Each structure stands twice: as structure tokens, then as C-alpha cells.
Amino acid sequence: DQQVKQNSPSLSVQEGRISILNCDYTNSMFDYFLWYKKYPAEGPTFLISISSIKDKNEDGRFTVFLNKSAKHLSLHIVPSQPGDSAVYFCAASELSNDYKLSFGAGTTVTVRA
């Protein structure tokens, strides 16, 4: 069963504009959420996380928003850069077992020059 869903398999955005990636989850026990970035032939790299006590976390060009009532989170990248072209995975877990991540299927972001 897919507890974390990324409904957009791909996203194309102009360099300098905002990229918005969306993620929905079904398990109400999840209280820790992460975004990973993955280049071809490499493993996922941690990008940013948020716990359920917050609704926003910002790190440079990356901001994650959490809407607990809607069981929805999003990642904003602004401004988008060509090096941001990658697959982005949303992941969730219970904080008490944060190694047991449930991943979405990923969104491939392409930043156009």
C-alpha cells in the first residue's frame, strides 16, 4: 500500500522561477517528513525535513510546508537552477522510528535554461 504519494511524475520549470513539488500521505501516525534529491546513478541525498510540530521549514532556496489537516506537504525551490534537475522523493516516518521511511515514487524536475 502506497502511504506516500507524489502524483506528479514530472515537472518542467524555467530557470529562475519557482518549482513546487507536492506530496500527500495517508498514515496519520507519520510525524516526520523529509525530501530527498537523487541524481542518476547516485543514491538519494537528504535535502530538508520537517516535524509535525512545525508547518514550515526553510533552508536557503528550499522551503518545505506541512499541512497536517490535509495530510499534504510541498517543497518550494526558488529560484530554480539547472543543477536542481533531479528526481525528488518525499518521505515520511514516525519520529520514534525515523529509519523506517516510506517514500513516494518521486517527481522528476527539469530546469530549463
Partner 1 sequence: NAGVMQNPRHLVRRRGQEARLRCSPMKGHSHVYWYRQLPEEGLKFMVYLQKENIIDESGMPKERFSAEFPKEGPSILRIQQVVRGDSAAYFCASSMTGVGTEAFFGQGTRLTVV
Minimal distance, residue 34 CB to partner 1, in Å: 8
Distance CA 69, CA 82 (A): 34
Binding site for partner 1 (CB under 8 A): 2, 4, 6, 36, 41-46, 49, 89, 91, 95-106
Residue 32 or residue 79: which is nearer to partner 1 going by CB? Answer: 32
CB closer to partner 1 out of 17 and 54: 54
Cβ pair 70, 52 in contact under 8 A: no
Spatial CA neighbour of 90 closest among 28, 25, 27: 25
Beta carbon of residue 25, minimum distance to partner 1 (angstroms, whole number): 12
Q: How far is the CB of 29 from partner 1 (least distance, A)?
A: 15
Q: Are strands 107-112 and 10-14 parallel, antiparallel or unpaired?
A: parallel
Of 13 and 34, which CB lies nearer to partner 1 in the complex structure? 34
At 27, give phi and psi (nearest 5°): -85, 110
